[in-house]
Structure 1
Amino acid sequence: MTGLLLRRLRDLLIILVIVGTMMFFVIRLIPGDPAQAILGPTARPSDVDALRESMGLNGPLWEQYLTWAGNVLHGDFGTSITYHAPVLGVVADHILPTLTLAVLSTVISFFLSVAITSWQAVSPRNPVARALDRLSALGMAMPDFWISLMLVLVFSVTLRWFPSSGYENLFTDPATAVPALVLPLTVLVIGQTALFVLTLRESLLGELPLAYLRTARVKGLSERQVMTKHVLPNALMPLITQLGSNFAMLVGGIVIIESIFVVPGLGHLLMGAVSTRDFPLIQGVTLFVAVLFVLVNLLVDLSYALLDPKVRVS
Structure 2
Amino acid sequence: MTAYLLKRLLIGLATLVVASLVVFGVLEILPGDPARLMLGFEATEDAIQALRVEMGLDQPLLWRYLDWVGGLLTLDFGRSYTYSVPVIDLVSERVVVSLPLALIALTLSTAIAIPVGVFSASRRGRPADTISMGAAQVGVAVPNFWFALLLIYVFAVWLRLVPAGGFPGWSAGAWPALKALMLPAVALALPQAAILARVTRSALLEVLGEDYIRTARAKGMPRRTVLWRHALRNAMIPVLTILGLQFAFLLAGTIIIENVFYLPGLGRLVFQAITQRDLIVVESVVMLLVASVIVVNLLVDLSYALVDPRLRVNR
> Per the shorter chain, which TM-score range?
over 0.9
In the alignment, which residue of structure 2 is the partner of 1:208? Answer: 208
The structure-2 alpha-carbon separation of the partners of 1:74 and 1:213, relative to structure 1 and needing over 3 Å to count, comes to closer
Q: How does 1:114-153 map to 2 (within 5 A)?
A: 114-124=114-124, 127-153=127-153
In 2, are the aligned partners of 1:147 and 1:187 still within 8 Å (CA)?
yes
TM-score normalized with structure 1 length? 0.92
In the alignment, which residue of structure 1 is the partner of 2:97? Answer: 97
The structure-2 alpha-carbon separation of the partners of 1:72 and 1:117, relative to structure 1 and needing over 3 Å to count, comes to closer
Q: Which amino acid aligns with 2:35?
A: A
Query: Are 1:11 and 2:11 counterparts?
Result: yes
In 2, are the aligned partners of 1:24 and 1:65 still within 8 Å (CA)?
yes
Q: 2-side partners of 1:16 and 1:265: how far apart?
A: 23
3-state SS of paired residue (1:132): helix
In the alignment, which residue of structure 1 is the partner of 2:240? Answer: 240
1:125 shift after superposition: 6.2
3-state SS of paired residue (1:96): helix
3-state SS of paired residue (1:164): coil
Please report the RMSD computed on the Cα atoms of aligned residues, expressed in angstroms.
2.0
1:248 shift after superposition: 1.4
- Show structure 2 runs of 5+ residues with no match: none
Of stretches 115-124 and 295-304 in structure 1, the one that deviates more from structure 2 is 115-124
The structure-2 alpha-carbon separation of the partners of 1:150 and 1:74, relative to structure 1 and needing over 3 Å to count, comes to closer
In the alignment, which residue of structure 2 is the partner of 1:156? Answer: 156
CA offsets per residue over residues 155-202 of structure 1, 9 Å max, x none?
222332221111244586122123212211111111111010011111
1:250 shift after superposition: 2.1
In 2, are the aligned partners of 1:39 and 1:48 still within 8 Å (CA)?
yes
In 1, are the aligned partners of 2:117 and 2:200 still within 8 Å (CA)?
yes
The structure-2 alpha-carbon separation of the partners of 1:205 and 1:281, relative to structure 1 and needing over 3 Å to count, comes to same
Query: Are 1:165 and 2:148 counterparts?
Result: no
The structure-2 alpha-carbon separation of the partners of 1:159 and 1:174, relative to structure 1 and needing over 3 Å to count, comes to same
In 2, are the aligned partners of 1:30 and 1:277 still within 8 Å (CA)?
no
1:124 shift after superposition: 4.0
In the alignment, which residue of structure 2 is the partner of 1:109? Answer: 109
In 2, are the aligned partners of 1:122 and 1:224 still within 8 Å (CA)?
no
In the alignment, which residue of structure 1 is the partner of 2:176? Answer: 176
CA offsets per residue over residues 203-240 of structure 1, 9 Å max, x none?
01111111111111122122211101111001111000
In the alignment, which residue of structure 2 is the partner of 1:292? Answer: 292
Of stretches 65-74 and 252-261 in structure 1, the one that deviates more from structure 2 is 65-74
The structure-2 alpha-carbon separation of the partners of 1:70 and 1:190, relative to structure 1 and needing over 3 Å to count, comes to closer
TM-score normalized with structure 2 length? 0.92
In 1, are the aligned partners of 2:106 and 2:250 still within 8 Å (CA)?
no
Q: Which amino acid aligns with 2:46?
A: S
In the alignment, which residue of structure 2 is the partner of 1:83? Answer: 83
Q: 2-side partners of 1:288 and 1:2: how far apart?
A: 26
In the alignment, which residue of structure 2 is the partner of 1:309? Answer: 309
In the alignment, which residue of structure 1 is the partner of 2:25? Answer: 25
3-state SS of paired residue (1:244): helix
Q: Which amino acid aligns with 1:304?
A: Y
In 2, are the aligned partners of 1:35 and 1:51 still within 8 Å (CA)?
yes
- Show structure 1 runs of 5+ residues with no match: none
Query: Are 1:51 and 2:42 counterparts?
Result: no
The structure-2 alpha-carbon separation of the partners of 1:170 and 1:112, relative to structure 1 and needing over 3 Å to count, comes to farther
Of stretches 251-260 and 129-138 in structure 1, the one that deviates more from structure 2 is 129-138
Q: 1-side partners of 2:153 and 2:274: how far apart?
A: 29
The structure-2 alpha-carbon separation of the partners of 1:242 and 1:170, relative to structure 1 and needing over 3 Å to count, comes to farther
The structure-2 alpha-carbon separation of the partners of 1:67 and 1:135, relative to structure 1 and needing over 3 Å to count, comes to same
In 2, are the aligned partners of 1:140 and 1:191 still within 8 Å (CA)?
yes
Q: Which amino acid aligns with 1:178?
A: L
The structure-2 alpha-carbon separation of the partners of 1:214 and 1:66, relative to structure 1 and needing over 3 Å to count, comes to closer
In the alignment, which residue of structure 2 is the partner of 1:197? Answer: 197
Percent identity over the alignment is 39
Q: 2-side partners of 1:177 and 1:65: how far apart?
A: 38
CA offsets per residue over residues 50-101 of structure 1, 9 Å max, x none?
1111111123434433443444455433212122222233222211211111
Of stretches 290-299 and 78-87 in structure 1, the one that deviates more from structure 2 is 78-87
The structure-2 alpha-carbon separation of the partners of 1:266 and 1:6, relative to structure 1 and needing over 3 Å to count, comes to same
Q: 2-side partners of 1:296 and 1:197: how far apart?
A: 21
Q: 2-side partners of 1:272 and 1:62: how far apart?
A: 27
Q: 2-side partners of 1:41 and 1:109: how far apart?
A: 47
Of stretches 37-46 and 101-110 in structure 1, the one that deviates more from structure 2 is 37-46
